[in-house]
Amino acid sequence: MNYCVIGLQWGDEGKGKVVDVLAAKSDIVVRYGGGANAGHTVIVGDERFALHLLPSGSVRPETTCVIANAVVVDPEVLTEEIEGLAQRSISLEGRLLISENAHVVLDYHKHEDRLREESLGKNKIGTTIRGIGPCYADKVGRSYAVRMGDLRDLDRLKEKLTRIVEYKNKLFGALYDAEPISIESIFDKCRSFADGLLPFVTDTTEFLHGAVAEDKSILFEGAQGSLLDLDHGTFPYVTSSNSSPLGMPSGSGVPAKMVDKFIGVAKAYTTRVGAGPFPAEQENETGQYIRDKGHEYGTTTGRPRRCGWFDAVAVAYSVALGAIDEVAMMHLDTLTGLDELNICRSYQIDGQAKTFFPANIDRLDRAEAVYETLGGWNDDITEVRDFGELPANAQSYVLRVEELIKKPITMIGVGPRRDQIINR
């Protein structure tokens, strides 16, 4: 079986845990988009792994990990992660493949991300400042882009970087009055990371097609969430890649029809980091309760996440974009202790009821969430492993969400540990 796991909200849905559970059944795990803006926490036993670039499967010594074409690779972060795992006796030698066509995030991208966000003031996007947008912009612009394969020829890379840094310095000086960046420091970093990373750099498309032909089981791991998709999310408050399921084929080079099952992951409520409309947001005690109980602070930036009720309109849209087969609902335990729970089942926009999510933010900004209210529960559910043993109101909650999004909820997260999951 080939699976693709995708976030159905604005990221941070708990995909890492689902991926890690499925990785146990897969030969290969593939990251196909985004970069070090993603943050996956994987908990194995008492050990906690915070990963940004490596696929979650990397903590399993028997899994092959692929970083495919559309990922933007920060060589510094990736090197740290590879070394970090090695220090914990987990080696990636011979089982990590990085696409030679993946683009490289360099210091001037992070610099540009920061300068641009600072200059935008209240109009900023609230990016992770990991250089993601500027790197993807260079990729689309083509003339000033660096790919992992470029690390193989350092003389040619130096020429290219000289041209790029000259251009960036003119731009940053003129637009932001910024100090020039030194070409030497950029080049030295590339040279120092090249040695460690080049053994992993290869043609991942060829590898993946070979794996498909050999009937290996492959797991495609989405980064961020569908609503942050550059083309189909809440633009401009999105990331710069196709983080919806639609990005999987272009990002990996493997057609979507090779995937047997698309599994969407959503939290039992909604969170969002950064700016942008969020109709079901609760800027009140309920929001704070969810934030504290669910530890809703960013893995990558530490920022407090905005929290709100489950938004069935938004999730149904993501389900439709990906022809999602099944849904994993995470963090159900976080809702324990609330007297009543609201589910957003439609929006009211300009006096009209809408159940199809408007990704256009002018309309989304005017959307008022319409809720239905269900009863809460107080019993601890973190050790429940059988759906029928959940409190009646918790069961009703899951079943109602299932009805609204019209897809089966086959996995339910009831705690952070890998085993804290109910399979239905």
Q: Which positions lie near ligand IMP, rule CB under 6 A?
A: 10-12, 37-39, 125-128, 130, 132-133, 224, 228, 237, 239-240, 273-274
Beta 340-349 vs 368-375: how paired, if at all? antiparallel
Helix (H) or strand (E) holding 251: helix 247-252
Give me the residue label for tokens 């993603």: 38
Q: Which residue is nearest to ligand IMP (CB)?
A: 274
CB of 71 to ligand IMP, least distance (A): 13
Q: Measured from the CB of residue 12, what is the shortest distance to ligand IMP in angstroms?
A: 5
Residue type, 25: K
Smallest distance, ligand IMP to C-beta of residue 352, A: 28
CB of 219 to ligand IMP, least distance (A): 18
195 class by beta-carbon count within 10 Å (0-12 exposed, 13-18 middle, 19+ buried) = exposed
For ligand IMP, give the closer residue by CB, 132 or 398.
Answer: 132
CA distances from 73 to 56, 102, 217, 416 (A): 16, 7, 25, 28
Which tokens is 400 given? 């109602």
**Amino acid at residue number 111:** H
Structure-token match 């990002």, residue found: 251
Residue ranges in 99-242 assigned as alpha helix (H): 107-120, 132-141, 154-176, 183-197, 204-213
Active-site pick, 20, 40, 111, 331: 40
Instruction: Pick the closer one to ligand IMP by CB: 16 or 322.
Output: 16
Nearer to ligand IMP, 69 or 271 (CB): 271
Q: Which is nearer to ligand IMP, 125 or 414 (CB)?
A: 125
Q: Among residues 125 and 266, whose Cβ is nearest to ligand IMP?
A: 125
Active site residue 232: no
What is the closest distance, in whole angstroms, from the C-beta atom of residue 15 to ligand IMP in the complex? 9
Contact status, residue 15 vs residue 276, Cβ threshold 8 Å: no
Burial label, 392 (beta-carbon count in 10 A; 0-12, 13-18, 19+): exposed
How far the first Cα of the chain sits from its last, in Å, is 19
Is residue 12 part of the annotated active site? The answer reads yes
Q: Return the number of the residue (13 or 100) whose C-beta is nearest ligand IMP.
A: 13
| Active-site entry in 12, 20, 113, 229 | 12
Q: How far is the CB of 126 from ligand IMP (least distance, A)?
A: 5
Looking at the annotation, which residues are catalytic?
Answer: 12, 40
